[in-house]
Structure formats: structure tokens, C-alpha cells
Structure 1
Amino acid sequence: MLQILVPGATYDRSYWDFPGFDGRYSYTAHAARAGQATLAIDPIGVGKSSMPVGWQVSAPSAAQAVHEAIQAVRNGGLGRTWSKVALVGHSFGSLTAMLEAGTYHDVDGLLISGASHAPGPGGIAVIVGAARPALDDPTTADSVPTGDISYLSVPGARERAFHAPGDSDPQVVAADEATRVAGTIGILATIPVFIPTTFDIAVPVLIANGTADKVFCGQGGGGSLTDCSSADALYGSERPFFPKAALATYVLPGAGHSMNLALNGSEFFGYAASWVHSMAGS
């Protein structure tokens, strides 16, 4: 089985293989040690992906781009042919993954991290309040189309919205902030379209959140209605949205929104690897 990894907004594929720190925060390195194959991709409009006009990049077009990547690996377009594919997302990448799986029904499993159906207004407000045109942010200005102000950056938002103070290394937080990337305004405006598609997802689904996620969990203090106090509580919050799926849930104690970068993130990596292993039947 191949895992295709989709990062969240303001991240590129390096979220899954976070550089430095002896690989401690690398999902891909942990998966490789478990004998599992991964392919981390840049969403449309990000990193080495194509860069359309920012307002034209919608949630459906982002999901279509992921769908095309899935078809490519199944058909041998990237080398080896893979008969089983799991889609793994973080944050907005999870929302894209749910939209893709619920629309195209072409994956064998879905791992959702850093996401729920009830984002908190407080967490969202921190992100929106930090947003500015990527052209006005020296870190991202050279990575977006010339003159396109519909690409956005969120300098200063990570420490306040993505990390839990008690479960993060200040050096990791600083490195995360320094490597922020731009996202598009179009996908932000259209992302709620993923919600009805989850009712039709009929493959195994794992939802994994940090208990202190300010964006998507009530315990994070951002006003989310999702209960992440325990795996059972998270299951109760999300089960109604996945009536056809074999649903499993996991919470990483104390972790913030970007749970890969939590001090105890390796616990999530280990659980994810075990879930993928059992789902793949290998």
C-alpha cells in the first residue's frame, strides 16, 4: 500500500518530512522504518506544483489534482504500479482528502489528521487575522505568481494557532514559522463543500487530532464543538459524518494543531503505522 500525503494550508510537502532535528518530526521517516511507502505531494498552487491564478484554485480543483495523482500511481505513471492507496491529510489537506475520497471513491483508506467537522472561530480568527498577501511577506514573496495578491501568507500565526506551548520545542516552532508557504484565497472560500461528501465515504477512516488543537478541538480553547478529550469522545463527535465508513479515532495528548511537530508526535506516527498495517492486511 502507498500512502499519499497531503499537507495543510501554509505548508508544502516538507510538513511530512520536517527537516532537521535528527528526523524526529518526520512522518515519512517513521513510516519507512515501519516498511511503509509514502508519497508526499504539494497541493495545486503550492511549492513545485503548478501555480494558477490564486482565486481560481478551489477545493474541488485541489481534490481533482489529488485524484489525478492517485490515478497516476495506480496506473504506473510515476514508476511502480500500486494496487492499494491510502490518502493521508493534515488540516486543509485532510479536508481536501475527504472531498477527494467522497467524490471519486478511488482510495482504500483515509487518514485524517488535524481536522474535524466543527472548526472553532477563535482558532480560525488567529489565522485570518494574520493573513496578508504573500507578495507582502518576504518569506513567501518569491514563491507566488508575479502580481497575484490572491496568494496569502500568515506570518506569526503558527505559535498562536498551530502549536501547544506545553507540547512543542521552541526551536521547532521557530523553524516551522521560518518555512511557511503561501496558500490561495480560492480554496479558503470553497472548502466547506467537503462536508456532504463524507457521508458517502465507505472505506476505513482514521481521524487523529491533538487534544490541544486550537482550530479543530474544543479542548484547544478556540471554540470548536469537537470533543477531543479522548478517542471515544472524538468518535462520538465525528461518527455522524461517516455513516458508511469503518471509523477509528485517535487523540494525541497535549498536542496542538500541527501534531506531527509535537514533542510526542512519534506516538501518532506509531499509531498511524499500525493502523495502515492492519488496513493493508499485510
Structure 2
Amino acid sequence: MVPRRLRGAPRRLLAAGAAAFTLAAGLALAPAATAAGTAPSTPWHGTPVCRELRVPVPDTPGTVAGRLCRPTGPAPDTVLVLVPGITYDRHYWTARPAPGVPSVQDAMAAAGLATVAVDRPGTGGSGRPDASAATLGSEADALHAVVGALRTGAGGPRYHRVVAVGHSFGSGVALTESVRHADVDALVLTGYGHGAGPLLEEFGRSLHPAAGDPVLSHEHPPPGYSTTRPGTRARFFHNPSDTWPGTVLRDEMTKSTVTSGELATLKDAYDPALAARVRVPVLLALGGRDQLVCHGPWLTCASADEVAGVERTLFTGTRLTAYLLAESGHAMEAAANAGQWHGFLAAWLRAQALR
């Protein structure tokens, strides 16, 4: 079955803050410096076994949809739930960043891990709630339903370890879910950091009603659903010198939406009190050229050590590792050398005994 929002014109890939924001962040490529050193690219061996996943969510129209991929052979013990940011859906995780470069779902399957790339409520094949009802909290609860289905085997194999992986606002959703429900084994927060970059406010002003957007208007988005104006995504999400041109075009043609409820609760995703309540291992990854989160007065992203030093003052109840993809913009999974990041991610997960 082809999800509703995957029919017709393509859709999305990435995201970052807006209206009442306080931050956002990114990932991508280049020589990958980290607080723990560098890591090689993950080898890619063939195509994973993938299928559609649908999970009923209380108080949400329809279901949460996603793409579940795993290596061939027996199901692994660990699954990563991939949550995209605003104005992106699952395409952020499923698309290859450049010819011959695997997506993160391909790369993690090669590393022996399963993944589920979800569409947040209101995007892709998931149900479309009223714009004011799609908030940080409601999406964290929807993610909780997905985690429960994976742990109980309702979505197929039963997974004993679940890692929540977010991008930008999706990282805030993953973080909130972990604090509220304490049901994931680790957090990977990408495009996320407690800083405000020079383009953050401009990004908020770039949003316009999705109903009038040439890419999304045919889907008849309801009131309160917005998206980026045509031709602006390269400026906010990518470093052109580190991004294949075809990827930027695809990003424009597959973009998704952000709701008024998400914008109203965006600042809550970056509440320092939320970070202080995390009790599972955290990997926080940013792009060195991220103009939405980095290059501000508090978080410059000059090095992984600097990022770790800043963020450890907030994530006081857990172990935090920082990773910096030096030349990447906000959209790490769109970077031409994203394989370097995938290699580090797989190595970090092995170090956490999440196999």
C-alpha cells in the first residue's frame, strides 16, 4: 500500500525551528570530528528488507506510518526509530544523499540494525490531525505508541532494544518521549542543540501556508499547516559545497509541513529542564556549517569538544557524546559524505552494546 502523502508529487526531507523558537541544529558530512575521535564510513552490502508499518495511536486520526527496514536473515535485537524534523517526513531518512551513497536505513542494515523511518502525525502516510492538536507532546505520545508496538512485536518481530533517533524538532520529540515514558534505551539527537544560529529567525519568516504552496497545494493541507517558501531550503538546511545538487532539488520537491501546534510548542523541545531529566545515553550530532543552531553567542560548533562542553552542562543526568560533521549544514542526512556519520553512529551503538 502506498501511503497517502507518498502519492502524486514528492514530499519532504528535513527541518528546523520557527515562530517562538529558541534553537535547532543540524548534521551532515566532511571530516567527522567528535569528542571520541573519528570513525570510518559504514560498509554497504546490498539492499535491506523493508515493508510498511502502521501503528494505531490514541486520539490521533488514522495511524502513524513508517518504513521498517532490517538486514536479511534473522531479525536483529535492536531497532532505531527515526523521527524527522518539521517540514520533513520519512524521506529525510530513506533517500540517498548522493549517487552511490547509502541512506541511513541502508547503512544501519549493513551494520546489522533495524530501523523505522516514521512520518510524524500530519505528514506522509500518517493521519492528519487539526493543526493545533499536532504538538510536541502529542507527537511524543505517538512515538511512544510506535515504541510499544516494536517492543511487543505488534509491528512484526519483537525488538528488545529501541533507540530513538531524531532530527531537529524530531530530536525534541524523541527527547520528550524518553523523559515522559522511559521506554527507550538510548537517544540520538541530530540537528539539535541549545543554541540559536544567525538564520533561525529568518527561517521562521520563510514559512507560508502549505495550501498555497506549488508542491503541496494538491494535497489540500488544512488551515494551520505551513511549509517553506519555494527555493529557500538550500539556504537554511544545506552547505552547497557539501551537498549534491540533485539532493537540494529533491529536498524542495519532497518537502512537508509544520503545524501551528508544533510551532507553539517548539521552544519546549529545548527546555534545559527537559535535558536534565534524561537518564539514557545520548549521542548529540551537529553540522559545523549549521546556520540554524550553530554560530551563535553560546554554541559556535567550532569542535565536537566545544559542543560536548556546552551540552553537558544541561544533560547532567547521563553520559553525552558529541559528534560534529564539520562541513555539513543542518541536514546531515543530505550531506554527500553522510557515510562518515553513519560509521560513527554504528560504532557508538556497538559501544553501548545495542546490537
TM-score, normalised relative to structure 2: 0.74
Compute the displacement of 1:25 (Å). Answer: 5.1
State the match for 1:182 in structure 2. Answer: 257
State the match for 2:224 in structure 1. Answer: 150
State the match for 1:172 in structure 2. Answer: 247
Distance change in 2, residues 1:224/1:127 (3 Å) = farther
SS at match of 2:313: helix
SS at match of 1:240: coil
Instruction: Say if 2:211 and 2:220, in contact at 8 Å, map to a contact too.
Output: yes
| Equivalent of 1:135 in 190, 211, 236 | 211
State the match for 2:343 in structure 1. Answer: 270
State the match for 1:112 in structure 2. Answer: 189
Distance change in 2, residues 1:71/1:281 (3 Å) = closer
SS at match of 2:82: strand
Compute the displacement of 1:142 (Å). Answer: 2.9
CA distance in 2, matches of 1:279, 1:166: 33
State the match for 2:152 in structure 1. Answer: 75
Compute the displacement of 1:20 (Å). Answer: 7.8
Q: Bigger relative contact order, structure 1 or 2, given CA contacts below 8 A and separation 6+?
A: 2
TM-score, normalised relative to structure 1: 0.93
CA distance in 2, matches of 1:117, 1:20: 26
1:1-282 superposed matches below 5 A? 1-19=78-96, 21-22=98-99, 24=101, 26-120=103-197, 122-145=198-221, 148-155=222-229, 156-194=231-269, 195=271, 196-218=273-295, 223=296, 225-282=298-355
- RMSD (Å) for aligned C-alpha atoms: 1.6
Which amino acid in structure 1 is aligned with residue 110 of structure 2?
R
CA distance in 2, matches of 1:240, 1:13: 32
Distance change in 2, residues 1:7/1:151 (3 Å) = same
Instruction: Say if 1:211 and 1:217, in contact at 8 Å, map to a contact too.
Output: yes
CA distance in 2, matches of 1:181, 1:261: 15
CA distance in 1, matches of 2:347, 2:299: 25
CA distance in 1, matches of 2:168, 2:325: 15
Deviations 1:24-62 (A, max 9, x none): 251111111111110110111111111011122111001
SS at match of 2:316: coil
SS at match of 1:5: strand
Identity, in percent, stands at: 36
Deviations 1:63-103 (A, max 9, x none): 11111111111111101111110000111111111111122
Instruction: Say if 1:25 and 1:261, in contact at 8 Å, map to a contact too.
Output: no
Compute the displacement of 1:205 (Å). Answer: 0.3
CA distance in 1, matches of 2:345, 2:163: 11
Which amino acid in structure 2 is aligned with residue 201 of structure 1?
V
Instruction: Say if 1:206 and 1:249, in contact at 8 Å, map to a contact too.
Output: yes
SS at match of 2:252: helix
Aligned length in residues: 275
| Greater helix share, structure number | 1
CA distance in 1, matches of 2:91, 2:235: 21
Structure 2 unaligned residues grouped into runs of 5+: 1-77
CA distance in 2, matches of 1:281, 1:128: 37
State the match for 2:46 in structure 1. Answer: none
CA distance in 2, matches of 1:171, 1:49: 27
Write out the 4+ residue segments of structure 1 that deviate beyond 6 Å after TM superposition: none
Distance change in 2, residues 1:278/1:253 (3 Å) = same
CA distance in 1, matches of 2:340, 2:97: 19
CA distance in 2, matches of 1:210, 1:229: 10
Which amino acid in structure 2 is aligned with residue 158 of structure 1?
R
Distance change in 2, residues 1:20/1:226 (3 Å) = closer
